[in-house]
Structure 1
């Protein structure tokens, strides 16, 4: 595996870094403090091309390679996990349509999704159902060529502004995936507030009161909603979260390097203490290791290697766990200042905590990766 970036990949990373610094970072603290992503920033993201960057060129997407996509995600996640989550959830829904949609469905939805003219949200979680996706309680009842959708979805990222929702339900005991438009009669949307981390992700609760959805809005066959459609979307989500977690580690290291060079304890700067230097070394190693696992996952995805799914899970598990450890150390390194919203490390810790829950908890990935370990993945070509 060649970890050297091509000129094109390097240019894309630098462009994403500039966009993150110039357009997103000035809003980062306000996004967290006010629990929202300002409309002007949403508009900038829609116009930037990043929402469709990884989608097929035939439908107007950027068609960028997985490494470039990951680097872009890391740079945006470094300054705001909330904004990064918009790219994640949009890509999850759009990629599901790309892979499992009919020709008519792709022609209908992918052009506006690739162009950023519409945003799609991923609606799987429910008030009483999180990681155990097979137990979803939302129901779809057949009425001729229509499905009547009843149930509640919760924790829907950017559900407050999404134009489309990829919704999962049970139909005669079999899971289905449906695209539901925001203005559909019977769909009620309300905000989910006072969340711990990623506060600007504009979470929503969706209530479906007999919402009529045409059969031509069903993605994939009945019975494939979780095993195929949701699983493929979650794989894309885990790839994004892995790179985003690596961005949080990078942000923590950068914040701590700046802080310990100017902060004094008596006559000495913090950077001169051995314990502090050990912690900085651990942060550097955590970032390097997380990025290397993300690179490996991206390269395998680019090659179409069947190991890519589990290697993405491995990268997500390691990077999100490392982000939480590093962010905890960053807060401690800042002392009482680390508990203040005047310093970004408190936000990094809250966001890192969420990263270990979304797209599969640490515990779920541990179970899957233990099974993967029995396949002796260390004997690699």
Structure 2
């Protein structure tokens, strides 16, 4: 079952192409969906498609037009990320981490930092990655071991980050490190001496998202590397940048459910058992009806979180937690059902549902595991009752 989306109108000569759900769907259908399984097997999103993403203005369209962006609202950004997740979670993951860096730069960067980096970040000429997770600590900000100290009027950075999406390709890293009194955020160019990049291959899901381990060995940085006040970075991790990443993952999870629904509707229409189409079996219809219900519910939760972001309402934080929890668990559940519907074919590379199944598992872990989300959502319930 494919959600009807009108084809985007052709832009006037010389005009920038429209960015909305329809144009994102059209772009994905032409350039990503047909080769997503190829990317998955190769373990990389090719440079060519990353450049096409830049040509379409999809790397950071929410940035202001004066800095090369398109002033895209958050609801529409969520729809774009849903469509990318429907096509390929690895591509959507690259957009997610780039979005996190771009948003942090615009939110907390100095005028000089924004002038230096924003135009190239907006177009994708400079691609970003988000460096929080570490070996042994994961994304627990309290467990950060990477350290930074004042050095020659600037900073000296040492440490190691792991599971860094886009890390193998990124030009600019948003790195979180511990100084004498707090956690700070730093903009670290890949070309800085002492930065080492080791690709991580053969992941379970999002296999093409160019994941890497990043080592920082006596990396000397100027004073302009610090992003925002040093005492505010930990708050940014908890309530700002990670919130936007969580929103993207939630929307991408909706895309996974939609892709599972469409794959199952197509497969069961053409597959017969005992002379009857699979789609005519009651249990098959029950599975698809659950997919329809959950994809619509998850999409509405994401849209609500996006609306609150556009309104700059702090309630967006909890709305995003709820959207991400619901959408990611539903994606995992329905991708499992999609494999079941496809039978042995679902475990092969001949059909996309095997990739969707593996990618969906990742969604339950990244940007806040489902266990952490359940604790956080329950805490909100107790706060509401106590008022």
Paired with 1:11 and 1:163, the residues of 2 have a C-alpha distance of: 25
Equivalent residues of 2:133, 2:140 under 8 A apart:
no
SS at match of 2:58: coil
Paired with 2:41 and 2:226, the residues of 1 have a C-alpha distance of: 38
SS at match of 2:267: helix
SS at match of 1:126: coil
Paired with 1:126 and 1:139, the residues of 2 have a C-alpha distance of: 12
In the other structure, the counterpart of 2:312 is: 304
In the other structure, the counterpart of 1:268 is: 276
1:29 correspondence with 2:37: yes
> Aligned-pair distance for 1:47?
1.6
- Segment drifting more, 113-122 vs 366-375: 366-375
Q: Deviations over 1:325-381 (max 9, x none)?
A: 00010011111111111110010010000011111100111111111112449x9xx
Paired with 1:229 and 1:113, the residues of 2 have a C-alpha distance of: 20
Paired with 2:236 and 2:52, the residues of 1 have a C-alpha distance of: 33
In the other structure, the counterpart of 1:188 is: 196
SS at match of 2:20: helix
Paired with 2:369 and 2:287, the residues of 1 have a C-alpha distance of: 26
Task: Select which of 25, 31, 45 maps to 1:17.
Answer: 25
In the other structure, the counterpart of 1:214 is: 222
> Aligned-pair distance for 1:229?
4.7
Paired with 2:243 and 2:231, the residues of 1 have a C-alpha distance of: 19
> Aligned-pair distance for 1:173?
4.0
In the other structure, the counterpart of 1:167 is: 175
Question: TM-score if structure 1 supplies the norm length?
Answer: 0.94
In the other structure, the counterpart of 2:206 is: 198
SS at match of 1:374: helix
Paired with 1:53 and 1:100, the residues of 2 have a C-alpha distance of: 18
> Aligned-pair distance for 1:11?
7.2
> Aligned-pair distance for 1:310?
0.8
> Aligned-pair distance for 1:230?
5.7
In the other structure, the counterpart of 1:153 is: 161
- Segment drifting more, 247-256 vs 136-145: 136-145
Q: Which runs of 4+ in 1 moved over 6 A?
A: none
In the other structure, the counterpart of 2:231 is: 223
In the other structure, the counterpart of 1:333 is: 341
Paired with 1:289 and 1:18, the residues of 2 have a C-alpha distance of: 24
In the other structure, the counterpart of 2:62 is: 54
Task: Select which of 249, 255, 258 maps to 2:263.
Answer: 255
Paired with 2:371 and 2:51, the residues of 1 have a C-alpha distance of: 37
SS at match of 2:32: helix
> Aligned-pair distance for 1:44?
0.8
> Aligned-pair distance for 1:296?
0.9
Paired with 2:314 and 2:284, the residues of 1 have a C-alpha distance of: 42
Equivalent residues of 1:118, 1:162 under 8 A apart:
yes
Equivalent residues of 2:271, 2:278 under 8 A apart:
yes
Unaligned runs of 5+ in 1: none
Equivalent residues of 2:185, 2:226 under 8 A apart:
yes
Paired with 1:15 and 1:76, the residues of 2 have a C-alpha distance of: 11
Compared CA separation, residues 230 and 370, structure 1 to 2 (3 A): closer
Equivalent residues of 1:301, 1:308 under 8 A apart:
yes
In the other structure, the counterpart of 1:344 is: 352
Paired with 1:171 and 1:101, the residues of 2 have a C-alpha distance of: 19
Equivalent residues of 1:100, 1:229 under 8 A apart:
no
Unaligned runs of 5+ in 2: 10-17
Paired with 1:264 and 1:112, the residues of 2 have a C-alpha distance of: 52
Q: Deviations over 1:270-296 (max 9, x none)?
A: 111111111111111110110010111
Equivalent residues of 1:219, 1:229 under 8 A apart:
no
